[in-house]
Amino acid sequence: MGKRGYGLFDEEIIMVLSCFRRNCPNIMCNRYSDKYGYICASCFEELEQAPIDINIVDFMDSEPGTFLQECRDYNKIFPIME
């Protein structure tokens, strides 16, 4: 049982699931859409922060970090007081 378990585990590690987003270097995706392809965890997080009316095709065609930048700007407007 132990050996078989390791075998399956190895196969999972070898599989390369490249993120379909433009210029995203991540190759370990655990989310997949029939329509848009694989997306990595960080792009998915960014997609959640993107405007609600974002076109997913446009999002996948944008550079990673495009929408995170918008979020960082709020930190500049309301910086945490020290």
CA distance 10 to 50: 35
- Give 22-25's long-range contacts (Cβ < 8 A, gap of 24+): 22/60, 22/61, 22/62, 22/63, 22/64, 23/63, 23/64, 24/64
- State the binding string over 27-56 for Zn ion (x if CB under 5 A, else -): -------------x--x-------------
What is the token pair recorded at 16?
Answer: 């390369």
CA distance 70 to 74: 7
Q: How many residues bind Zn ion (CB under 5 A)?
A: 6
For Zn ion, which is the closer residue by CB, 26 or 62?
A: 26
For Zn ion, which is the closer residue by CB, 6 or 28?
A: 28
Q: Which of residues 56-75 bind Zn ion (CB under 5 A)?
A: none
For Zn ion, which is the closer residue by CB, 6 or 41?
A: 41
**Contacts with Zn ion, residue ranges (CB under 5 A):** 19, 21, 24, 26, 40, 43
